[in-house]
Amino acid sequence: MPFHAKNPTNPAANTPYYTPAQNPPAGTALPPSNTANGDSSSSASSEVIPTLFTPLKIRSLELQNRFVVSPMCTYSADEGHLTDWHLVHLGSFAQRGAALTIVEATAVLANGRISPEDSGLWQDSQIAPLKRIVQYIHSQNQKVGIQLAHAGRKASVLSGLGMGIKSWTWSKVATPEQGGWPDNVWGPSPIPYSDDGYVVPKEMTLSQIEQLVQGFKDAAKRAVEIGVDTIEIHGAHGYLISEFLSPISNQRTDKYGGSFENRTRLLVETVQAVRSVIPETMPLFVRISATEWMEWQESQPGWTEEESTKLALVLADLGVDVLDVSSGGNNEKQQIKIHPYYQLDIAGRIREALRKAGKLEKMIIGGVGMITNAEMARDVVQTGEGRTPKADLVLVARQFLREPEFVLRAADELGVKVAWPSQYARAPFPRREKKL
For residues 319 and 1, give the distance between their C-alpha atoms in angstroms, rounded to a whole number. 46
Distant-in-sequence, close-in-space partners of 315: CB < 8 Å, separation ≥ 6: 271, 286, 323, 363
For residues 413 and 397, give the distance between their C-alpha atoms in angstroms, rounded to a whole number. 19
Residue 194: Cβ within 10 Å count: 13
Q: Annotated catalytic, 341? A: no
What phi and psi, each to the nearest 5 degrees, are found at residue 271?
Answer: -60, -45
Q: What is the DSSP letter of 18?
A: -
Distant-in-sequence, close-in-space partners of 342: CB < 8 Å, separation ≥ 6: 327, 336, 369, 370
For residues 44 and 32, give the distance between their C-alpha atoms in angstroms, rounded to a whole number. 6
Q: Is 124 exposed, middle or buried (0-12, 13-18, 19+ CB in 10 A)?
A: exposed
Cβ distance 318 to 275 under 8 Å?
yes
Distance (Å) of CA 257 to CA 183, 252, 262, 265, 289: 23, 4, 5, 9, 18
Cβ distance 363 to 309 under 8 Å?
no
- Closest Cα to residue 118, out of 164, 168, 161? 161
For residues 91 and 86, give the distance between their C-alpha atoms in angstroms, rounded to a whole number. 8
Per the residue annotation, which of 239, 256, 341, 342 is the catalytic one?
A: 239
**DSSP per-residue string spanning 228-293:** -SEEEEEE-TTSHHHHHH-TTT----STTSSSHHHHTHHHHHHHHHHHHHS-TTS-EEEEEES--S
Which residues are marked as active site?
239
